[in-house]
Structure 1
Amino acid sequence: MQYIHPRIFRHFRGHYPVIRYTLVPVVLTGLLTASAMAALTVVADLGGESTVPLFDAVNNEINEFTPPRTLTPSSPSASPVTVDEMLQVSTPEMTPGRVENRRSELTGMAPVFLVGDDALSRRWLEQRRGDLQQLHATGLVVNVTDGTALRGLQTLAPGLTLLPASASDIARRLGLAHYPVLITADGLSQ
C-alpha cells in the first residue's frame, strides 16, 4: 500500500481503495474530455470546394467530376503482326558465355531458358533439349536478328516453345550477364 499524507486524507482513513478505484478514474475522464473538446485548428480552407478532383489521379474511378470520354474506333490493321515483324531482338546486357550455377528461391517461377542465335546456344540447346522438354520450359531467344535465324533455332528444339524477347529486365533482376541459362524455381543453371 502506498503512503498517503495524513493531513490530506485523514477523513478517508480506511477508504483508500475507494479513492484509488473511483476518484482517480473520474478525474482522468474529466481531463481527457476537456482536452477532446478543445477548439479545432483549421489547417486549410478550400472555400467549400470538394477535394474529389484532387484525388482523381490516385483513385481513377469514374465519378461526376470525370470528363466524358469519347471512344474512337480504331481501325484494325490489314494483316496480323508476324514473328518476322517483331525481329530484330537484342539484349545488350547479355552475351554468350559461362553462367555459374546458383541456387535461388524463385517460388512459383515456371521454367524458362534464355538462348541466343550463336554457336554456344545451339550446342547447349541440343544437349539440354530432353531436360527442357521434361520441365516444359519456355525459351526466350534474347539475341536474334531475323526469322530465318529463329526458325533455325526452333528446328534444333522440336516440341519446345521459343519466343523472341528481350531479357533486359530479367538480366537486371537476376544479375545475369551471359546466356544460355535455365531459370527454375530452384535457381539458375547452365
Structure 2
Amino acid sequence: MKNVNFLLFGLCLVTSTALANLNVIADVGGEDASPYFEGINAQGETPASPSVQPGVVDVQATMLPVSTPELSPGDVADRPLQLPGIGALFIVGDDDASRSWLQANADGLKSRHAAGLVVNVSNLPALQSLQALVPGVPMAPASGSELARRLQLSNYPVLITDTGLSQQVTP
C-alpha cells in the first residue's frame, strides 16, 4: 500500500511539473500575433470599428484582375448533372447581366447557401460592388477556365448544383 501511495504521489508530481514547464520547440521569428486575438479577448465589450493594420493587404485584391476568356455573359440552357457533394456554386462576372441576375436571385442564393465565383472582374471596387448586391453570400474572384472546360460551359450567370446547372434559382 505504501508503494501505491508513493507511486500516485510521484505521478501527481511529474504531471504538475510537466504542466508547469513549457518548452519552446522553435521560434522562427515573425510578427506579434496578439492583434489577431483582440476580438477574442474583447468578448462582451462594445466592438470597435474595424481597422486596417499597416502591411495587411486585402487577399481578394491580390487575386485581381481575373479574366476567363472561355466564359462570357449570355444564355445558359438548363442541363442535368451528377455532381454529388458540390452544394450550390454560381458563376458571375462584372457585367450588367450578372448584376441583374444577382439582384433577382439574392434570396434564392442565400437560402441555398450558395458560394460564387467572379470569373471576369478587373478591380477591387468592381468586385465589392458585386458582393454588395448579395450580402452574406460569399463570392471570390477566380478563373473559371477549368470549370468551363469540364462542364462544357461558355456563358454565365449560372447556378451549378449537384443535380444540374441553370440560370433559374429556386429557394
TM-score by length of 1: 0.58
- Post-superposition Cα deviations, 1:116-155, rounded to whole Å, max 9, x if no partner, equal 0000000000111111101100011000000010011011
- 1:179 paired to 2:156: yes
Q: 2:120 corresponds to which residue? A: 143
Q: 1:39 corresponds to which residue? A: none
SS at structure 1 position matched to 2:148:
helix
The match for 2:55 among 60, 64, 79 is 79
SS at structure 2 position matched to 1:151:
helix
How many Å apart are 1:108 and its aligned residue?
Answer: 1.2
SS at structure 2 position matched to 1:154:
helix
- 1:159 paired to 2:136: yes
Q: How many residues align?
A: 117
How many Å apart are 1:80 and its aligned residue?
Answer: 4.6
SS at structure 1 position matched to 2:117:
strand
- 1:102 paired to 2:79: yes
Inter-partner Cα distance in structure 2 for 1:74 and 1:109: 40
Inter-partner Cα distance in structure 2 for 1:108 and 1:147: 30
Q: 2:89 corresponds to which residue? A: 112
Equivalent position amino acid for 1:96 in 2: P
Distance 1:147 1:108, change over 3 A: same
Q: Which of these two proteins has the greater Rg computed from alpha carbons? A: 1
Equivalent position amino acid for 1:115 in 2: V
Structure scoring higher RCO (CA < 8 A, sep ≥ 6) equals: 2
Inter-partner Cα distance in structure 2 for 1:74 and 1:181: 46
TM-score by length of 2: 0.64
Inter-partner Cα distance in structure 1 for 2:116 and 2:101: 12
Q: 5+ residue gaps in structure 2?
A: 1-27, 32-53
Q: 5+ residue gaps in structure 1?
A: 1-72
SS at structure 1 position matched to 2:103:
helix
The RMSD of aligned alpha carbons is: 1.8
How many Å apart are 1:84 and its aligned residue?
Answer: 1.6
Percent identity of equivalent pairs: 50
How many Å apart are 1:109 and its aligned residue?
Answer: 1.1
Inter-partner Cα distance in structure 1 for 2:157 and 2:56: 31
Equivalent position amino acid for 1:164 in 2: P
Inter-partner Cα distance in structure 2 for 1:166 and 1:126: 22
Distance 1:79 1:97, change over 3 A: same
